[in-house]
């Protein structure tokens, strides 16, 4: 017996479908369970041997139109109860153990990672993490879903699904939204019909992809997102954000209950949010809908705080003295930082939003600290003072792939830039342990005399410091955006390797 979202066309073939076998099926929602009945005495398989069957499908069905392998396979002899058949390549022994039991070690896999970065889902370091976030699945204002890149999605989603079958500790969530893809959230979440359609389609997508979680990355409720993108917002979003998450939670619980009754599929689904790092964004929701965060905290399992991008070349347009180069992911804002004089801006650091989420009703075990696997380069008027830190921004230089000034961590650390734009050849790096200006940030930075540029980023040492702090605060763990910019865990420069070691107590 096997369950799949694919509709079989014709009869299967291969050694597992011998002459005289019959096939029957039952359908529930988008899934169909097929039962192959062998003729008595017509088939044998010795211990530890394997056999195969091939089938063609006429349509994949489901909201994503994506054909997937069987979500489960079972076998039985005579009137005995069905027994699960292990997936090919299933883990054995210690490989089946959660690398950080009780803690959240996670990272985003971007669907575009397979291109310039040549990073496929099979490269995800599952020996060090226990949660994958797949970025992103597309959706429209009416609640319909669609693949954003059928070429990449069609290759990577099935690989992750197979990893879930092979490693019992692993979780994977479909992520919706992102900086440039949040434009449809407002209209969808604030319309009851569209919201119901979205939730229904997401539940079907989970069954279709065999994932066991949903991640909402709305950037940002009430406030507009990426400049130039079709992003819309309204004061209703404060309540709509809570309505969206509560509705998804209800859908997930019902799906889990149905699975428990049928004996197939996950019996619990995770709901997470990529939570804003700016405390002003949290306060805006709280002011417009005072009960929203209480409802959200009850619905959501994990808040992955986007505790980065606090500063960058986008500060150039600020009024002086807030138009200067600064750390994009400082642990805390230093009293000597020009931004410190502003009560809001001084909270643009790691510790402040995490504290606010707790004030809003989230427990420490619902919160993960976000870590960037990239850096931001900005042009400044003077690198001779403070090595560019706190100096006036004069522009945005070219980045590794575009004009945003963003560089992958691998490109920063070892010039592993995949043949794309590299940092200036005279880039000099400042260790935070060697400079008093980093006493509060605990993050490194770089500068170039030849190009008058300043670089802000995290490395393995600063990530270890942050995750050790998170463990001291009894937080749930960490999240990396995104894994394609990191080194393999075996490399001493690996952010994931460093973060996981910190979770396990290497502080």
- Report helix, strand or coil for 177: strand
- pLDDT of res. 231: 64
Q: Which residue has the tokens 């991640």?
A: 215
CB 470 within 8 A of CB 438: no
- Mean pLDDT score, 445-458: 98
CA distance 158 to 222: 35
Q: Which CATH class is domain 102-371+460-503?
A: alpha beta
pLDDT digits (tens, 9 = 90+) for 60-110: 678 998 878 788 888 888 788 888 887 778 899 999 999 999 999 999 999
Torsions phi, psi for 111 (to 5 deg): -60, -25
Q: Which residue has the tokens 């403070």?
A: 386
Question: At 460, is the pLDDT very low, low, confident or very high (cuts 50, 70, 90)?
Answer: very high
- pLDDT of res. 228: 59
Q: Percent of the chain, pLDDT > 70?
A: 98
Helix segments in 61-191, DSSP class H: 150-166, 185-189
- Mean pLDDT score, 134-138: 98
Q: Measured in whole angstroms, how far is the alpha carbon of residue 299 from the centre of its chain? A: 18
CA distance 219 to 230: 12
Burial of 263 (0-12, 13-18, 19+ CB in 10 A): exposed
3-state helix, strand, coil in the chain (%, to 5): 30, 20, 45
Both tokens of residue 334?
């230093």
pLDDT digits (tens, 9 = 90+) for 148-164: 999 999 999 999 999 99
- Mean pLDDT score, 166-184: 95
Helix segments in 167-291, DSSP class H: 185-189, 192-209, 237-262, 279-288
276 or 58, greater pLDDT: 276
- Mean pLDDT score, 272-299: 97
- pLDDT of res. 188: 96
| Cα first-last separation, the chain | 49
Q: List b or e across 34-63, with b for residues whose CB sees 16 or more CB atoms inside 10 angstroms.
A: bebebeeeebeeeeeeeeeeebeeeebbbb
Q: Which residues contact 229 (CB under 8 A, 6 or more apart)?
A: 180, 181, 182, 183
- Does residue 42 carry a pLDDT above 70? no
Full 3-state SS string of 343-385: CCHHHCCCHHHHHHHHHCCCCHHHEEEEEECEEEEEEECCCCC
Give the gyration radius of the chain's Cα atoms. Answer: 25
- pLDDT of res. 322: 97
Question: At 37, is the pLDDT very low, low, confident or very high (cuts 50, 70, 90)?
Answer: confident
- Any idea which of 51-60, 168-177, 294-303 has the lowest mean pLDDT? 51-60
Do the bridges between strand 445-448 and strand 54-59 make them parallel or antiparallel, or are there none, so unpaired? unpaired
Both tokens of residue 143?
């609640």
CA distance 449 to 346: 28
Q: Measured in whole angstroms, how far is the alpha carbon of residue 21 from the centre of its chain? A: 44
Sequence ranges of the domains in the chain: 2-84, 102-371+460-503
- Any idea which of 30-34, 85-89, 415-419, 434-438 has the lowest mean pLDDT? 85-89
- Mean pLDDT score, 176-193: 95
CA distance 383 to 391: 7
pLDDT digits (tens, 9 = 90+) for 317-338: 999 999 999 999 999 999 999 9
- Average confidence score pLDDT of the chain: 93
Q: How far is CA 344 from CA 21, 258, 276, 310, 339, in A?
A: 70, 46, 14, 12, 9
- Mean pLDDT score, 404-418: 96
- Mean pLDDT score, 27-52: 80
- Does residue 479 carry a pLDDT above 70? yes
C-alpha neighbours within 13 Å on the C-beta side of residue 344: 8
Torsions phi, psi for 460 (to 5 deg): -60, -35
- pLDDT of res. 7: 81
Is residue 175 within a helix (H) or strand (E), and if so which, with residue range? Answer: strand 171-177
CA distance 11 to 54: 9
pLDDT digits (tens, 9 = 90+) for 44-54: 778 777 778 88
- Report helix, strand or coil for 447: strand
């Amino acid at each position: 017996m096997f369950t799949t979202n694919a509709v079989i066309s014709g009869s299967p073939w291969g050694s597992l479908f011998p002459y005289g076998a019959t096939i029957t099926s039952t359908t529930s929602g988008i899934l169909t369970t097929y039962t192959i009945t062998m003729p008595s005495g017509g088939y044998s398989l010795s211990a530890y041997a394997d056999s195969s069957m091939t089938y063609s499908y006429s349509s994949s069905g489901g909201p994503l139109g994506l054909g997937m392998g069987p979500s489960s396979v079972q076998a039985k002899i005579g009137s005995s109860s069905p027994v699960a058949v292990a997936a090919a390549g299933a883990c054995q022994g210690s490989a089946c153990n959660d690398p950080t039991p009780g803690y959240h070690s996670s990272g985003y896999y971007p669907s575009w990672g397979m291109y310039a970065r040549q990073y496929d889902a099979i490269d995800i370091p599952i020996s060090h993490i226990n949660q994958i976030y797949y970025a992103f699945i597309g959706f429209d204002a009416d609640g319909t879903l669609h693949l954003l890149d059928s070429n990449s999605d069609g290759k990577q989603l099935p690989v992750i699904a197979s990893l879930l079958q092979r490693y019992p500790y692993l979780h994977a969530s479909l992520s919706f939204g992102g900086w440039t893809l949040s434009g449809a959230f407002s209209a969808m979440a604030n319309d009851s019909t569209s919201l119901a359609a979205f939730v229904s389609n997401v539940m079907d997508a989970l069954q279709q992809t065999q994932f066991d979680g949903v991640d909402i990355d709305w950037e940002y409720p009430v406030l507009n997102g990426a400049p130039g993108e079709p992003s819309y917002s309204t004061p209703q979003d404060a309540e709509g954000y809570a309505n969206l998450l509560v509705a998804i939670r209800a859908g997930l619980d019902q799906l889990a209950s149905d699975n428990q009754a049928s004996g197939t599929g996950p019996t619990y689904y995770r709901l997470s949010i990529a939570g804003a790092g700016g405390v002003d964004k949290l306060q805006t929701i709280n002011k417009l809908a005072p009960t929203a965060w209480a409802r959200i905290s009850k619905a959501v399992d994990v808040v992955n705080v986007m505790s980065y991008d606090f500063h960058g070349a986008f500060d150039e347009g600020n009024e002086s003295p807030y138009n200067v180069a600064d750390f994009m992911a400082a642990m805390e804002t230093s009293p000597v930082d020009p931004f410190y004089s502003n009560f809001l801006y001084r909270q643009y650091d790691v510790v402040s939003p995490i504290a606010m989420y707790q004030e809003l009703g989230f427990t420490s075990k619902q919160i993960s600290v976000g870590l960037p696997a990239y850096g931001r380069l900005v042009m400044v008027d003077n690198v001779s003072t403070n090595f560019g830190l706190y100096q006036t921004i004069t522009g945005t230089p070219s980045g590794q792939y575009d004009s945003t000034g963003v560089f992958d961590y691998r490109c920063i650390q070892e010039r592993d830039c995949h043949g794309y734009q590299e940092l200036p050849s005279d880039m000099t790096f400042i260790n935070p342990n060697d400079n008093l200006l980093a006493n509060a940030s605990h993050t490194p930075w770089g500068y170039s005399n030849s190009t008058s540029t300043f670089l802000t980023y995290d490395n393995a040492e600063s990530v270890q410091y942050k995750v050790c702090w998170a463990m001291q605060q009894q937080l749930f763990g960490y999240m990396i955006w995104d894994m394609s910019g990191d080194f393999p865990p075996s490399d001493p420069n690996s952010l994931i390797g460093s973060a996981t070691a910190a979770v396990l107590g290497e502080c």
